[in-house]
Amino acid sequence: MLGGQSGWKGLIVQLLFVAALAWISYAIVDNARDNLQNQRIASGFGFMSQTAGFGVSQTLIPYSESDSYTRVFLVGLVNTLVVSVIGIFFATVIGFMVALGRLSPNWLLSRIAGGYVELVRNLPLLFQILFWYLAVLGSLPNPRQSVSLFDSFFLSNRGIVVPSPIGQAGLGAFLIAVVVAVIASLLLPAYARRRLFQTGKPLTVWPYVVGLLIGLPLIAVLIFGKPVHFEIPVLKGFNFAGGSRVAPEFVALTLALSTYTAAFIAEIVRAGIQSVHKGQMEAGASLGLSRGSTLRLVVVPQALRVILPPLTNQYLNLTKNSSLAVAIGYPDLFSVFAGTTLSQTGQAIEIIAITMGVYLLISLVTSALMSFYGWRIGRSMGA
């Protein structure tokens, strides 16, 4: 009986098994390398240092055509991570709002939320991406007729162009003020709770938070001068020069991914909330808590234990679905690395292996973070 033995015997069997597996993998890799060499198909990872020689439309880290394929890989990876993280953020926010809307006693609100879920989760994602890209953003006017706000913000079929900030003398002080304000705002609720438990007096936190977040940076600006100067974009030739631009590919992909995933998250959240016994809601009400406070303080923390595992799945799905980007020309990892780089170098096995490894790593890290969060919640509830 395999796996049933104990002690030395079992250990030896397992060691032999691992050794055999390692030997087989090695034989396969070795054989593949020989065969590729015999057919004179280039192999190995030397191509990573070659010059890429092609342009990429969105690069959040510096990139030019004369950079190497390693740089292309990083550019694609950053683009994938950015669209995933922002997509996950919006999907979660929209998902929670839709779920709460669906559970609301307001008939109209709950029907609208229900309609949203049924419509969005039942249409193919690729279709939705193309819809946002071609039908919605594609119908915006061209740059020469763009919609402008104060002649500094421009909306056109080339994306959203906004004035870009250029750091001035007061920037350092401004940033320090913001950081201090944020940290203080984060510490404040803990202080308020301690005071509530010690003295029994509740403290309304939000006015202080708003005051801190606006006041401190404002004082910094008054003392040290303007933190930034804004460079206004101007139309020059075919496109805008100066300013910062959010490309329509990015907007369409983020919109499609977050609204699509939000529909699934909404159902998960609804299921989680409904899994909490309604006696909890009644208990909250009998303590004099408002509906919102009961949800926030009593129901949601218990629901989270049910919500988290399937929510993690949705986060993973969103990240993997971001590889549909190539359909609308968003330069994510799959598009620039497993696409352009692959066809220029022809090294399919190496590049697909790297790409698979990266997606696997992203997924495992996401899972680990979510498990850690779940463990913390479980601990704080004494479970």
Partner 1 sequence: MKRVSLVLSLAIVAGFTTQAVNAQTLKTVKDRGILSCGVSQGLPGFSAPDDKGNWTGLDVDICRAIAAAVFDDATKVKFVPLSAKDRFTALQSGEIDVLSRNTTWTVSRDTSLGANFTGVTYYDGQGFLVKKSLKVNSALELNSASICVQTGTTNEQNVADYFKGNNMKYEVIAFGTADEAIKAYESGRCDVFTSDVSQLYAQRLKLATPADHGVLPEVISKEPLGPLVRHGDDQWFDIVKWTLFAMLNAEELGINQSNVLEMGKSDKPELKRVFGTDGNLGEQLGLTKDWVTRIVKAVGNYGESFDRNVGAGSKLGIARGLNQLWNKGGIQYAPPIR
Q: What is the CA 188 to chain-centroid distance, rounded?
A: 28
Segment interacting with partner 1 (CB under 8 A) among 196-204, 261-269, 298-306, 340-348: 340-348
| Cβ neighbours of residue 371 closer than 8 Å, sequence gap 6 or more | 312
CA–CA distance, 89 with 104 (Å, rounded to integer): 23
Q: Which is nearer to partner 1, 185 or 340 (CB)?
A: 340
CA–CA distance, 204 with 214 (Å, rounded to integer): 17
Q: Could you say which residues in the range 100-129 bind partner 1, by CB under 8 A?
A: none
- Cβ 122 to partner 1, closest distance in Å? 22
Q: What is the CA 112 to chain-centroid distance, rounded?
A: 26
What's the number of CA atoms in the CB half-sphere (13 Å) around residue 3?
0
- Cβ 341 to partner 1, closest distance in Å? 10
Alpha-carbon Rg for the chain, nearest whole angstrom, is 27
Site membership for partner 1, residue 293 (CB under 8 A): no
Q: Which is nearer to partner 1, 38 or 380 (CB)?
A: 38
Q: What is the CA 145 to chain-centroid distance, rounded?
A: 33
129 CB burial (10 A radius; 0-12, 13-18, 19+)? buried
Contact status, residue 114 vs residue 266, Cβ threshold 8 Å: no
List the one residue from 128, 259, 314, 335 that touches partner 1 (CB under 8 A). 335
Site membership for partner 1, residue 65 (CB under 8 A): yes
| Cβ neighbours of residue 218 closer than 8 Å, sequence gap 6 or more | none
Q: Could you say which residues in the range 191-230 bind partner 1, by CB under 8 A?
A: none
Site membership for partner 1, residue 345 (CB under 8 A): yes
Site membership for partner 1, residue 329 (CB under 8 A): yes
| Cβ neighbours of residue 117 closer than 8 Å, sequence gap 6 or more | 98, 102, 263, 266, 267
- Cβ 104 to partner 1, closest distance in Å? 38
Segment interacting with partner 1 (CB under 8 A) among 38-46, 172-180, 218-226, 275-283: 38-46
Site membership for partner 1, residue 331 (CB under 8 A): yes
Q: Which is nearer to partner 1, 5 or 343 (CB)?
A: 343
- Binding residues for partner 1, per CB under 8 A? 28-29, 31-32, 35-36, 38-42, 53-57, 65, 133-134, 138-139, 142, 157-158, 236-239, 241, 248-249, 326-329, 331, 335-336, 338-340, 342-349, 352
